[in-house]
Chain A
Amino acid sequence: MDRTTIDLWVGVFVALGVAALLGLAMKVGNLTSANLGPTYSVSAAFENVGSLKPHAPVKSAGVVVGRVDSINFDGLKFEAIVKINIDQRYNFPKDTFANIYTAGLLGEQYIGLEAGGDEDTLKNGDRITKTQDAIVLEKMISQFLFSKASETKTDNADVNPAPTAKPLEKKAAGKTLELGDPGF
Chain B
Amino acid sequence: MIKLLVIAIARILRNMGAGMIESVWRLGAGARLFFLTIFYSGQSFRRFHLIMREIYFTGVLSLLIIIVSAFFVGMVLALQGYNTLQKYGSSEAIGVLVALSLVRELGPVVTALLFAGRAGTAITAEIGLMKTTEQLSAMEMMAVSPIARVVAPRFWAGVISMPILAALFSMVGILGGYLVAVPLIGVDQGAFWSQMQANVDFRLDIVDGLIKSLVFGVACTMIALFEGFDAPPTAEGVSRATTRTVVISSLTVLGLDFVLTSFMLAV
Contact = CB atoms under 8 A, between A and B. Distances in A.
Nearest to A57: B198
Given A3-B49, A28-B174, A33 B60 contact: no
Nearest to B197: A30
Contact of A29 (B163, B172, B200): B200
A16 B171 CA distance: 10
A48 to B, nearest CB: 24
B202 A17 contact: no
Contact of B60 (A9, A23, A55): A9
B202 A29 contact: yes
B168 interface: yes
A10 B51 CA distance: 10
Interface in B158-195: 161, 163-165, 167-168, 170-172, 174, 193
A47 B190 CA distance: 36
A16 B200 contact: no
User: Could you tell me the dominant secondary structure of chain A's interface residues?
Assistant: helix
A17 B99 contact: no
Contacts of A24: 103, 167, 170-171, 174, 206
A30 to B, nearest CB: 5
B118 to A, nearest CB: 14
User: Could you tell me the dominant secondary structure of chain B's interface residues?
Assistant: helix
A6 B170 contact: no
Interface in A48-70: 55
Contacts of B55: 10, 13
A59 B12 CA distance: 69
A1 interface: yes
B202 A13 contact: no
A28 B200 contact: yes
How many chain A residues sit at the interface, stated as a range, is 20 to 34
Interface residues of B, number: 30
A136 interface: no
A64 B55 CA distance: 44
Contacts of B193: 27
A20 interface: yes
Interface in A16-45: 16-17, 19-21, 23-25, 27-31, 33-34
B107 to A, nearest CB: 9
B157 to A, nearest CB: 9
B163 A17 contact: yes
Interface string B120-150: 0000000000000000000000000000000
B206 A29 contact: yes
B14 interface: no
B205 interface: yes
A14 interface: yes
A23 B164 contact: no
Interface of A: 1, 3, 6-7, 9-10, 12-14, 16-17, 19-21, 23-25, 27-31, 33-34, 55
Given A10-B56, A27-B197, 17 more contacts: A3-B52, A6-B56, A12-B60, A13-B55, A13-B63, A16-B63, A17-B164, A20-B167, A20-B172, A24-B170, A27-B193, A28-B99, A28-B174, A28-B197, A30-B200, A30-B201, A33-B197
25 contacts: A3-B52, A6-B49, A9-B56, A10-B52, A10-B56, A10-B59, A12-B60, A13-B55, A13-B56, A13-B60, A13-B63, A13-B164, A14-B164, A16-B164, A17-B163, A17-B164, A20-B172, A23-B171, A24-B167, A24-B171, A28-B99, A28-B174, A28-B196, A29-B200, A29-B205
